[in-house]
Amino acid sequence: MAVISNKSLGKPVTRRAVLGFGVLGILGIAFGSAISDKLSGLFSKLSPNNPLSNILPGANGFEIYTVSGFPTESTSAYKLSVGGLVNNPVTLSYDDLLKLKATHMTKDFQCVTGWRVPNVKWTGVRLKDILDIAGVKNSARAVLFRSFDGVYTESLTINQAMRADVIVAYSMLGTSLTEEHGGPVRLYVAPMYGYKSIKWLSAIELSSTVVPGYWENLGYAVNAWIGRSNGRSDPPVD
Ligand SMILES: Nc1nc2c(c(=O)[nH]1)N[C@H]1C(S)=C(S)[C@@H](COP(=O)(O)O)O[C@H]1N2
Ligand SMILES: [Mo]
């Protein structure tokens, strides 16, 4: 695969990523990275609810979203901590996740801004299986998720987290999760809008109350059921 040095990202990126970040990349080369960094910052503040976000189209119909750059972590360094109100706090490596029972799903991905990618192949471990390993205490009512981007967070109630269609995903679109889609590991919450599916997942914390996530603090619904929240009338998913 062609590797092109892209000034605006400050490191070599793959051709696929350059296609995704083409506009900012070209501006970065034409005007220097300072301006494209400012544009990146502007984009971050505007997404995901502004049409300008369309300047970063991804492959397969996805838009690539980030509020805090593109953090990198190798599969060998990757760690997922599970803590808070659990009986056995654990830290799982990427290999640990691969050894757990795999769940495969083919389901749509729907962003609250309106774009939808049908029939996406996902593979990962049911969140429920991971929570069962850690042993959720009776006092736990909610799950908080952190990203190793250091900024993005998400939340689910215990009941939502235990659903069979909520997975800790390491594969998407038929390949290992790419960096831009949140690799090595992201959450996939099939029945909810895309902002629930936190990328670059690093920590799962059980808590006594729901702690609203990044976009939820900015006004988006905490219970982000597709078609039943955020004032949209999309058909509900199964
Ligand atoms: N860490 C992190 N996760 C995130 C986001 C983000 O900005 N940062 N954006 C969310 C939103 S609004 C959507 S629609 C999806 C987009 O997933 P994609 O970038 O793989 O297309 O990621 C979600 N997870
Ligand atoms: Mo989104």
Of 65, 92, 110, the last residue of a domain is: 65
Q: How far apart are CA 156 and CA 186, in angstroms?
A: 14
Of 13, 33, 65, the last residue of a domain is: 65
Rounded to the nearest 10 degrees, how much is the dihedral formed by the CA atoms of 121, 113, 204, 87? Answer: -90
When divided into structural domains, the chain yields a total of 2
Question: For residue 120, is pLDDT > 90?
Answer: yes
| pLDDT, tens digit (0-9, with 9 covering 90-100), for 157-176 | 999 999 999 999 999 999 99
Residues 38 and 148 in one domain: no
Residues 149 and 196 in one domain: yes
Residues 46 and 104 in one domain: no
- Specify if 89 maps to a domain: yes
The whole-number average pLDDT for the span 1-21 is: 31
pLDDT for the residue numbered 43: 44
From the CA of 193, how far away is ligand 1's center (Å)? 10
67 lines ligand 1 (CB under 6 A): yes
Q: Which two tokens stand for residue 160?
A: 């939502």
- Specify if 102 maps to a domain: yes
Q: Hey, which of 195, 196, 226, 229 would you mutate to test ligand 1's pocket, going by the most ligand atoms within 8 Å of its Cβ?
A: 195
Task: Decide if 86 contacts 161 (C-beta within 8 A).
Answer: no
Residues 218 and 100 in one domain: yes
Q: Hey, which of 73, 148, 199 would you mutate to test ligand 1's pocket, going by the most ligand atoms within 8 Å of its Cβ?
A: 199
The whole-number average pLDDT for the span 39-43 is: 43
Residues 95 and 38 in one domain: no
Residues 145 and 210 in one domain: yes
Pairing verdict, β 116-126 and 142-147: unpaired
* Choice among 12-26, 91-105, 158-172, 189-203 with the minimum mean pLDDT: 12-26
* Confidence (pTM): 0.79
Report DSSP state, residue 104: E
Query: Per-residue confidence at 86, pLDDT binned at 50, 70, 90?
Result: very high
pLDDT for the residue numbered 60: 83
pLDDT for the residue numbered 57: 65
Looking at per-residue pLDDT, the higher value among 198 and 49 belongs to: 198
181 CA: nearest ligand 1 atom = 20
* Atom 10 of ligand 1, nearest CA residue: 195
Residues 86 and 30 in one domain: no
Residues 138 and 103 in one domain: yes
Residues 26 and 107 in one domain: no
| Radius of gyration, CA atoms only, the chain | 18
- Specify if 73 maps to a domain: no
148 lines ligand 1 (CB under 6 A): no
Residues 213 and 134 in one domain: yes
End-to-end CA, the chain = 38
Task: Decide if 194 contacts 186 (C-beta within 8 A).
Answer: no
pLDDT for the residue numbered 232: 60
- Specify if 168 maps to a domain: yes
From the CA of 238, how far away is ligand 1's center (Å)? 22
- Specify if 72 maps to a domain: no
Question: For residue 4, is pLDDT > 80?
Answer: no
The whole-number average pLDDT for the span 41-56 is: 44
Q: Which ligand has the nearest atom to the CA of 187?
A: 1
- Specify if 35 maps to a domain: yes
Task: Decide if 66 contacts 199 (C-beta within 8 A).
Answer: yes
Residue ranges making up the domain that contains 61: 3-65
* Atom 1 of ligand 1, nearest CA residue: 199
- Specify if 164 maps to a domain: yes
- Specify if 211 maps to a domain: yes
Q: How far apart are CA 178 and CA 184, in angstroms?
A: 7
21 lines ligand 1 (CB under 6 A): no
Q: Which ligand has the nearest atom to the CA of 120?
A: 1
Three-class SS string for 19-79? HHCHHHHHHHHHHCHHHHHHHHHHHHHHCCCCHHHHHCECHHHCECCCCCCCCCCCCCCCE
Of 31, 65, 99, the last residue of a domain is: 65
Question: In this structure, what CATH number is given to the domain that contains residue 186?
Answer: 3.90.420.10
Residues 139 and 47 in one domain: no
Residues 150 and 211 in one domain: yes
62 CA: nearest ligand 1 atom = 21
Looking at per-residue pLDDT, the higher value among 28 and 218 belongs to: 218
Question: For residue 35, is pLDDT > 80?
Answer: no
